[in-house]
Amino acid sequence: MNPEQIHPGAWVAEGARLGEDIHIGPGAVIGPQVVLADGVRIGPHAVLEGDTRVGANTRIAAHATLGTAPQDLDYGGEDTALVIGADNDIREYVNLSRGTVKGGGRTVLGDGNLLMAYSHVGHDARLGDGCVITNGAQIAGHAEIGDHVVFGGLSGIHQYARVGSLAMVAAGAMVTQDVPPFCMVQGDRAGPVGVNVTGLRRHGGYDPGRVRQLYRLLYRAGLGLEEALARMMVAVSDGPERRLFMDFLRVSRRGICR
């Protein structure tokens, strides 16, 4: 690695493992357990500490804090990790916490996510690929987020709650129960307002008509959850939409947003 790519005002601890073509800006702090894959870009005054692993070509902007100790009163300094995939864009003042032993020990981000300024991902949370976490959105510990989910500005999700793939959480929404795939929710407490047709069109690969059928049976037919699941098996033809939607509903622990 070309040493000129590390600003002389940065502090890189002995033991940190750096790939090729790394750029580290002035005032940045890289702890001794940090692992950076090839092509990572780190802005001024960003702080990476603890067991933090960053995938290739991820960009980390100024003043982001990654791998900080979990904000959990039971945390006692155990060796836990933050694992970040490739091609993520992590903007100014974003905070990502390490995991806790009781939560499995790892906070995980997939690939290709955009985390806008001042957003937060708590300990032991798991994000899929291609998510957009808008400015000031807050994801609590142990939350599970699918692929291509959008969180609007200043929205929040309760710990242990889940959001299915291609769902959209509106700005300012407070999510306390699970959001099924493909659905849009808004409000405090967040409730369903329709199908994320725009997300379906942008992503491709799913039939919006079949998704609308599933949505109507869950939210517009006056059925309980078990009744709705039974009707889906009969009334909706098999396909990836039905499988993803029904699998998500069957394992809900906090209940579904209503």
Domain boundaries in the chain?
3-142, 203-250
Catalytic residue among 45, 63, 120, 123: 123
Is the pLDDT score of 2 beyond 60? no
pLDDT digits (tens, 9 = 90+) for 84-138: 999 999 999 999 999 999 999 999 999 999 999 999 999 999 999 999 999 999 9
Catalytic residue among 67, 85, 112, 141: 141
Catalytic residue among 72, 111, 124, 129: 124
- Name the CATH code of domain 3-142 (choices 3.40.50.720, 3.10.20.30, 2.160.10.10, 3.30.70.1450): 2.160.10.10
Distance in angstroms (rounded) separating the CA atoms of residues 184 and 92: 27
Structure tokens, 46 = 């960003």
Residue 120 is among the residues annotated as catalytic for this protein: no
Residue 147 is among the residues annotated as catalytic for this protein: no
* Residue 1 pLDDT grade (very low, low, confident, very high; cuts 50, 70, 90): very low
Strand partners, 52: 82
Structure tokens, 142 = 């142990």
Strand partners, 163: 145, 179
Instruction: Find out whether the peptide bond into 231 is cis, omega within 30 degrees of 0.
Output: no
pLDDT digits (tens, 9 = 90+) for 36-65: 999 999 999 999 999 999 999 999 999 999
The strand order across the sheet containing 59-60 reads 23-24, 41-42, 59-60, 89-90, 114-115, 132-133, 150-151, 168-169, 183-186, 191-195
Chain position carrying tokens 């300990």: 123
Residue 180's pLDDT is 98
Is the pLDDT score of 139 beyond 90? yes
How many angstroms from the chain centroid is the CA of residue 124?
Answer: 11
Residue 124 is among the residues annotated as catalytic for this protein: yes
Q: Which residues contact 106 (CB under 8 A, 6 or more apart)?
A: 80, 81, 82, 83, 98, 99, 124
